[in-house]
Structure 1
Amino acid sequence: RAYPRTLDELSSHIGIPELRELVASFLYYQTNLEPLPDDLPLPPCPPLDGPIYVFHSAAATFYAPSDISGIGGMRRERIRATPSWYRGPPRYDCVFAEKDNTLDGFLGLHAARVRLFFSFKHSGIEYPCALVHWFSPVADEPDDLTGMWVVEPDVNVDGTRSYGIVHLDCILRAAHLIPVYGDAVLPPDFHPSQSLDAFRAFYVNKFADHHAHEIAY
Protein backbone atom coordinates (compact mmCIF):
# COMPACT_ATOMS: atom_id res chain seq x y z
CA ARG A 1 0.00 0.00 0.00
CA ALA A 2 1.40 3.37 -1.03
CA TYR A 3 1.74 6.07 1.61
CA PRO A 4 2.36 9.78 1.07
CA ARG A 5 5.98 10.80 1.56
CA THR A 6 5.39 14.27 3.01
CA LEU A 7 4.38 15.02 6.58
CA ASP A 8 1.17 16.94 5.88
CA GLU A 9 -0.06 14.45 3.28
CA LEU A 10 0.70 11.51 5.57
CA SER A 11 -1.15 13.27 8.40
CA SER A 12 -4.25 13.56 6.22
CA HIS A 13 -3.89 10.01 4.92
CA ILE A 14 -3.89 8.37 8.37
CA GLY A 15 -6.39 10.79 9.91
CA ILE A 16 -4.07 12.21 12.59
CA PRO A 17 -4.20 16.01 12.10
CA GLU A 18 -1.72 16.67 14.92
CA LEU A 19 1.05 14.59 13.31
CA ARG A 20 3.19 17.62 12.45
CA GLU A 21 2.99 18.88 16.03
CA LEU A 22 3.86 15.42 17.34
CA VAL A 23 6.92 15.24 15.10
CA ALA A 24 7.96 18.72 16.25
CA SER A 25 7.69 17.64 19.89
CA PHE A 26 9.58 14.42 19.20
CA LEU A 27 12.45 16.22 17.46
CA TYR A 28 12.67 18.84 20.20
CA TYR A 29 13.19 16.22 22.89
CA GLN A 30 15.56 14.23 20.68
CA THR A 31 17.80 17.25 20.18
CA ASN A 32 17.50 19.05 23.54
CA LEU A 33 18.60 17.78 26.94
CA GLU A 34 16.39 20.15 28.91
CA PRO A 35 12.57 19.97 28.82
CA LEU A 36 10.65 22.79 27.21
CA PRO A 37 9.60 25.39 29.82
CA ASP A 38 5.86 25.48 30.45
CA ASP A 39 5.61 29.15 29.50
CA LEU A 40 7.16 28.67 26.06
CA PRO A 41 5.31 27.37 22.99
CA LEU A 42 6.56 24.33 21.12
CA PRO A 43 8.90 25.36 18.30
CA PRO A 44 7.54 24.73 14.80
CA CYS A 45 8.43 21.48 13.11
CA PRO A 46 11.79 21.88 11.34
CA PRO A 47 12.17 20.81 7.71
CA LEU A 48 12.84 17.12 7.14
CA ASP A 49 15.56 15.76 4.87
CA GLY A 50 13.74 13.97 2.09
CA PRO A 51 10.72 11.66 2.14
CA ILE A 52 9.02 9.83 5.01
CA TYR A 53 8.96 6.04 4.84
CA VAL A 54 6.19 3.93 6.41
CA PHE A 55 6.54 0.31 7.52
CA HIS A 56 3.95 -2.25 8.59
CA SER A 57 6.10 -4.03 11.16
CA ALA A 58 9.22 -3.82 13.28
CA ALA A 59 11.30 -6.48 15.01
CA ALA A 60 12.05 -6.36 18.73
CA THR A 61 15.09 -8.27 20.01
CA PHE A 62 15.47 -8.56 23.77
CA TYR A 63 17.05 -10.63 26.51
CA ALA A 64 14.65 -13.11 28.11
CA PRO A 65 16.74 -15.74 29.93
CA SER A 66 13.72 -17.33 31.64
CA ASP A 67 12.14 -18.19 28.28
CA ILE A 68 13.67 -21.12 26.42
CA SER A 69 14.33 -19.37 23.14
CA GLY A 70 17.22 -18.26 20.99
CA ILE A 71 20.89 -18.32 21.87
CA GLY A 72 21.82 -17.25 25.38
CA GLY A 73 18.28 -16.15 26.21
CA MET A 74 17.88 -13.76 23.27
CA ARG A 75 14.40 -13.51 21.81
CA ARG A 76 13.03 -11.83 18.69
CA GLU A 77 9.42 -10.99 17.89
CA ARG A 78 7.60 -9.07 15.17
CA ILE A 79 5.34 -6.13 16.10
CA ARG A 80 2.68 -5.26 13.52
CA ALA A 81 0.96 -2.02 12.56
CA THR A 82 -0.91 -2.71 9.36
CA PRO A 83 -4.29 -1.56 7.97
CA SER A 84 -5.00 -5.10 6.75
CA TRP A 85 -3.71 -8.34 8.24
CA TYR A 86 -3.79 -11.17 5.67
CA ARG A 87 -6.32 -9.20 3.61
CA GLY A 88 -8.58 -8.97 6.63
CA PRO A 89 -9.15 -6.35 9.34
CA PRO A 90 -6.38 -4.06 10.59
CA ARG A 91 -3.84 -5.14 13.17
CA TYR A 92 -2.20 -2.60 15.47
CA ASP A 93 -0.18 -4.34 18.18
CA CYS A 94 0.48 -3.10 21.70
CA VAL A 95 3.94 -2.61 23.17
CA PHE A 96 5.84 -1.91 26.35
CA ALA A 97 7.82 1.33 26.02
CA GLU A 98 10.45 2.63 28.41
CA LYS A 99 9.34 5.38 30.80
CA ASP A 100 11.71 5.46 33.79
CA ASN A 101 14.47 2.88 34.19
CA THR A 102 14.91 3.78 37.86
CA LEU A 103 11.50 2.28 38.69
CA ASP A 104 10.76 -1.42 38.96
CA GLY A 105 8.25 -3.41 36.96
CA PHE A 106 5.39 -1.75 35.16
CA LEU A 107 5.94 1.49 37.09
CA GLY A 108 8.90 2.09 34.79
CA LEU A 109 7.03 1.29 31.58
CA HIS A 110 4.38 2.69 29.29
CA ALA A 111 1.68 0.61 27.63
CA ALA A 112 0.93 1.82 24.12
CA ARG A 113 -0.65 0.72 20.87
CA VAL A 114 1.32 1.27 17.68
CA ARG A 115 -0.58 3.13 14.99
CA LEU A 116 2.28 3.63 12.54
CA PHE A 117 5.93 2.72 12.08
CA PHE A 118 7.81 5.32 10.06
CA SER A 119 11.20 6.90 9.59
CA PHE A 120 12.58 10.21 8.38
CA LYS A 121 15.82 12.18 8.35
CA HIS A 122 16.52 15.50 10.01
CA SER A 123 19.91 17.25 9.93
CA GLY A 124 21.42 14.13 8.41
CA ILE A 125 20.22 11.82 11.20
CA GLU A 126 17.70 9.07 10.55
CA TYR A 127 14.93 8.65 13.11
CA PRO A 128 13.04 5.33 13.14
CA CYS A 129 9.82 6.05 15.03
CA ALA A 130 6.46 4.76 16.11
CA LEU A 131 3.26 6.75 16.35
CA VAL A 132 1.53 5.34 19.42
CA HIS A 133 -1.73 5.68 21.30
CA TRP A 134 -1.03 5.85 25.03
CA PHE A 135 -2.64 3.88 27.86
CA SER A 136 -2.35 4.92 31.51
CA PRO A 137 -2.87 2.93 34.73
CA VAL A 138 -6.16 3.50 36.52
CA ALA A 139 -4.50 2.98 39.93
CA ASP A 140 -1.08 3.14 41.57
CA GLU A 141 -0.85 -0.62 41.96
CA PRO A 142 -2.03 -3.82 40.25
CA ASP A 143 -5.57 -5.12 40.58
CA ASP A 144 -6.02 -7.03 43.86
CA LEU A 145 -8.01 -9.87 42.31
CA THR A 146 -5.94 -10.64 39.21
CA GLY A 147 -2.52 -9.25 40.14
CA MET A 148 -2.44 -7.44 36.79
CA TRP A 149 -2.23 -3.72 36.15
CA VAL A 150 -5.34 -2.13 34.67
CA VAL A 151 -4.92 0.61 32.06
CA GLU A 152 -7.29 2.82 30.10
CA PRO A 153 -6.81 4.66 26.80
CA ASP A 154 -5.55 8.23 27.08
CA VAL A 155 -7.82 10.84 25.51
CA ASN A 156 -7.57 14.57 24.91
CA VAL A 157 -9.98 17.12 26.38
CA ASP A 158 -12.14 16.83 23.25
CA GLY A 159 -12.41 13.05 23.63
CA THR A 160 -10.03 12.15 20.80
CA ARG A 161 -7.21 9.69 21.35
CA SER A 162 -3.95 10.95 22.77
CA TYR A 163 -1.00 10.09 20.53
CA GLY A 164 2.74 10.42 20.85
CA ILE A 165 5.85 9.57 18.88
CA VAL A 166 8.64 7.45 20.33
CA HIS A 167 11.99 6.33 18.99
CA LEU A 168 12.06 2.62 18.21
CA ASP A 169 14.88 2.22 20.72
CA CYS A 170 12.33 3.03 23.46
CA ILE A 171 10.14 0.04 22.59
CA LEU A 172 11.00 -2.96 24.73
CA ARG A 173 8.74 -5.65 23.30
CA ALA A 174 5.13 -6.49 22.44
CA ALA A 175 2.46 -6.27 25.14
CA HIS A 176 -0.82 -8.14 25.49
CA LEU A 177 -3.85 -6.21 26.77
CA ILE A 178 -6.98 -8.10 27.85
CA PRO A 179 -10.29 -6.22 27.93
CA VAL A 180 -12.03 -5.70 31.25
CA TYR A 181 -15.26 -7.18 29.98
CA GLY A 182 -17.89 -6.15 32.51
CA ASP A 183 -21.47 -7.42 32.26
CA ALA A 184 -22.45 -6.23 28.77
CA VAL A 185 -23.15 -8.75 26.02
CA LEU A 186 -21.11 -8.42 22.84
CA PRO A 187 -23.05 -8.30 19.55
CA PRO A 188 -22.87 -11.46 17.40
CA ASP A 189 -20.89 -9.71 14.67
CA PHE A 190 -18.23 -8.35 17.04
CA HIS A 191 -14.72 -9.07 15.71
CA PRO A 192 -11.70 -9.53 18.01
CA SER A 193 -9.81 -6.88 16.03
CA GLN A 194 -12.23 -4.29 17.46
CA SER A 195 -11.42 -5.08 21.09
CA LEU A 196 -8.83 -2.37 21.70
CA ASP A 197 -11.23 0.24 20.32
CA ALA A 198 -14.41 -0.99 21.99
CA PHE A 199 -13.51 -1.48 25.65
CA ARG A 200 -12.81 1.18 28.25
CA ALA A 201 -10.15 -0.59 30.32
CA PHE A 202 -7.66 -3.42 29.89
CA TYR A 203 -5.56 -5.78 31.97
CA VAL A 204 -1.84 -5.74 31.18
CA ASN A 205 -1.29 -9.46 30.78
CA LYS A 206 1.81 -10.39 32.75
CA PHE A 207 0.99 -14.08 32.24
CA ALA A 208 1.59 -13.99 28.47
CA ASP A 209 5.05 -15.52 28.97
CA HIS A 210 7.88 -15.68 31.50
CA HIS A 211 9.47 -12.41 30.38
CA ALA A 212 6.20 -10.47 30.56
CA HIS A 213 5.74 -11.77 34.10
CA GLU A 214 9.17 -10.42 35.01
CA ILE A 215 8.63 -6.89 33.69
CA ALA A 216 4.89 -6.17 34.13
CA TYR A 217 4.56 -6.84 37.85
Structure 2
Amino acid sequence: MRRERIRSTPQWRKHGPRRDCAFVVENQAEHGFRGMSVVRIRLFFSFTHDGIDYPCALVDWFKKVGRSPDIQTGMWIVEPEMQGRYRFTTIVHLDTLLRGAHLIPVYGSAFIPVGLRYIHSLDAFKAFHVNKYADHHANEIAF
Protein backbone atom coordinates (compact mmCIF):
# COMPACT_ATOMS: atom_id res chain seq x y z
CA MET A 1 0.00 0.00 0.00
CA ARG A 2 1.35 3.38 -0.93
CA ARG A 3 -1.39 5.77 0.05
CA GLU A 4 -4.51 5.85 2.09
CA ARG A 5 -7.04 8.61 2.58
CA ILE A 6 -8.14 9.48 6.06
CA ARG A 7 -11.01 11.93 5.91
CA SER A 8 -12.56 14.43 8.24
CA THR A 9 -15.22 16.60 6.70
CA PRO A 10 -18.29 18.37 8.11
CA GLN A 11 -20.42 17.35 5.11
CA TRP A 12 -20.01 14.02 3.27
CA ARG A 13 -22.20 13.48 0.22
CA LYS A 14 -24.93 15.70 1.70
CA HIS A 15 -25.55 13.27 4.60
CA GLY A 16 -23.61 14.78 7.49
CA PRO A 17 -20.06 14.63 8.80
CA ARG A 18 -17.52 11.95 8.03
CA ARG A 19 -14.91 11.49 10.75
CA ASP A 20 -12.53 8.62 10.01
CA CYS A 21 -10.63 6.71 12.68
CA ALA A 22 -6.90 6.02 12.62
CA PHE A 23 -4.18 4.16 14.49
CA VAL A 24 -1.87 6.44 16.49
CA VAL A 25 1.59 5.12 17.39
CA GLU A 26 2.32 5.87 21.04
CA ASN A 27 5.15 3.45 21.79
CA GLN A 28 7.29 2.09 18.94
CA ALA A 29 8.98 -0.40 21.27
CA GLU A 30 5.72 -2.33 21.70
CA HIS A 31 4.61 -4.73 18.97
CA GLY A 32 1.25 -4.46 17.23
CA PHE A 33 -1.68 -2.71 18.82
CA ARG A 34 -0.09 -2.77 22.29
CA GLY A 35 1.94 0.30 21.30
CA MET A 36 -0.97 2.08 19.63
CA SER A 37 -4.33 3.65 20.24
CA VAL A 38 -7.29 4.52 18.05
CA VAL A 39 -8.45 8.09 17.48
CA ARG A 40 -11.29 9.74 15.59
CA ILE A 41 -10.12 12.62 13.43
CA ARG A 42 -12.13 15.78 14.09
CA LEU A 43 -10.09 18.28 12.09
CA PHE A 44 -6.92 18.52 10.03
CA PHE A 45 -4.94 21.73 10.26
CA SER A 46 -1.40 23.09 10.18
CA PHE A 47 0.46 26.02 11.58
CA THR A 48 3.87 27.60 11.08
CA HIS A 49 6.23 28.43 13.94
CA ASP A 50 9.74 29.80 13.41
CA GLY A 51 9.47 28.97 9.72
CA ILE A 52 8.60 25.30 10.31
CA ASP A 53 5.24 23.88 9.19
CA TYR A 54 3.50 21.53 11.64
CA PRO A 55 0.70 19.39 10.14
CA CYS A 56 -1.68 18.33 12.91
CA ALA A 57 -5.02 16.77 13.66
CA LEU A 58 -7.58 17.40 16.38
CA VAL A 59 -8.58 13.94 17.63
CA ASP A 60 -10.93 12.15 20.04
CA TRP A 61 -9.23 9.26 21.84
CA PHE A 62 -10.36 5.69 22.42
CA LYS A 63 -8.80 3.67 25.24
CA LYS A 64 -8.18 -0.06 25.31
CA VAL A 65 -10.44 -2.30 27.38
CA GLY A 66 -8.19 -4.91 28.92
CA ARG A 67 -4.58 -5.79 28.25
CA SER A 68 -5.14 -8.21 25.38
CA PRO A 69 -7.60 -8.91 22.56
CA ASP A 70 -11.07 -10.25 23.33
CA ILE A 71 -11.01 -14.04 23.72
CA GLN A 72 -14.18 -14.65 21.68
CA THR A 73 -13.39 -12.46 18.65
CA GLY A 74 -9.61 -12.09 18.75
CA MET A 75 -10.07 -8.35 18.32
CA TRP A 76 -9.11 -5.56 20.71
CA ILE A 77 -11.95 -3.65 22.33
CA VAL A 78 -11.78 0.11 22.80
CA GLU A 79 -14.13 2.62 24.37
CA PRO A 80 -14.30 6.41 24.12
CA GLU A 81 -11.91 8.06 26.54
CA MET A 82 -13.79 10.58 28.66
CA GLN A 83 -12.92 13.53 30.86
CA GLY A 84 -16.00 13.88 32.98
CA ARG A 85 -18.93 14.13 30.54
CA TYR A 86 -16.79 15.08 27.54
CA ARG A 87 -14.64 13.15 25.07
CA PHE A 88 -10.89 13.41 25.65
CA THR A 89 -9.70 15.53 22.71
CA THR A 90 -6.12 16.54 21.91
CA ILE A 91 -3.91 17.64 19.05
CA VAL A 92 -1.45 15.17 17.48
CA HIS A 93 1.20 15.56 14.80
CA LEU A 94 0.33 13.79 11.54
CA ASP A 95 3.55 11.76 11.78
CA THR A 96 2.00 9.80 14.66
CA LEU A 97 -0.90 8.56 12.49
CA LEU A 98 -0.08 5.16 11.02
CA ARG A 99 -3.17 4.38 8.93
CA GLY A 100 -6.93 4.25 9.02
CA ALA A 101 -8.70 2.05 11.56
CA HIS A 102 -12.09 0.36 11.28
CA LEU A 103 -14.24 0.06 14.40
CA ILE A 104 -17.19 -2.31 14.81
CA PRO A 105 -19.67 -1.52 17.62
CA VAL A 106 -20.06 -3.94 20.50
CA TYR A 107 -23.81 -4.26 20.09
CA GLY A 108 -24.88 -5.85 23.35
CA SER A 109 -28.35 -7.31 23.90
CA ALA A 110 -30.50 -4.20 23.39
CA PHE A 111 -32.16 -3.32 20.10
CA ILE A 112 -30.56 -0.68 17.92
CA PRO A 113 -32.85 2.34 17.53
CA VAL A 114 -34.58 2.43 14.14
CA GLY A 115 -33.56 6.03 13.43
CA LEU A 116 -29.86 5.55 14.21
CA ARG A 117 -27.76 6.77 11.28
CA TYR A 118 -24.25 5.60 10.53
CA ILE A 119 -22.87 9.11 11.10
CA HIS A 120 -23.81 8.82 14.79
CA SER A 121 -22.50 5.30 15.44
CA LEU A 122 -19.20 6.39 17.04
CA ASP A 123 -21.20 8.38 19.59
CA ALA A 124 -24.08 5.94 20.08
CA PHE A 125 -22.18 2.87 21.30
CA LYS A 126 -20.11 2.44 24.45
CA ALA A 127 -17.43 0.11 23.07
CA PHE A 128 -15.99 -1.01 19.74
CA HIS A 129 -14.00 -3.89 18.29
CA VAL A 130 -10.86 -2.83 16.42
CA ASN A 131 -11.45 -4.71 13.18
CA LYS A 132 -8.28 -6.61 12.35
CA TYR A 133 -10.08 -8.32 9.47
CA ALA A 134 -10.64 -5.10 7.48
CA ASP A 135 -7.62 -5.88 5.27
CA HIS A 136 -4.18 -7.51 5.29
CA HIS A 137 -2.42 -4.48 6.81
CA ALA A 138 -4.95 -4.09 9.62
CA ASN A 139 -4.52 -7.79 10.43
CA GLU A 140 -0.77 -7.33 10.80
CA ILE A 141 -1.19 -4.20 12.95
CA ALA A 142 -4.04 -5.13 15.29
CA PHE A 143 -3.09 -8.67 16.25
Q: TM-score, normalised by structure 1?
A: 0.65
Are residues 1:162 and 2:69 paired? no
Q: Where in structure 1 do 4 or more consecutive aligned residues deviate above 6 Å?
A: none
Rg (Cα) greater in structure: 1
5+ long unaligned stretches in structure 2: none
1:66-215 paired onto structure 2 within 5 Å: 74-156=1-83, 158-215=84-141
For the residues of structure 2 that align with 1:119 and 1:179, how far apart are their CA atoms?
32
Whose strand proportion is higher, 1 or 2? 2
Identity %: 57
Q: Deviations over 1:103-159 (max 9, x none)?
A: 011001111000000011112111100011000111000000000000000000x21
Aligned-residue CA RMSD in angstroms? 0.8
Aligned residues: 143
Structure 2 residue matching 1:86: 3-state secondary structure: coil
- 2:37–2:64 Cα contact (<8 Å) kept: no
Higher relative contact order (CA 8 A, sep 6+): 2
Q: TM-score, normalised by structure 2?
A: 0.97
Cα offset for 1:75?
Answer: 2.6
Q: Deviations over 1:60-95 (max 9, x none)?
A: xxxxxxxxxxxxxx3311111011101211110000
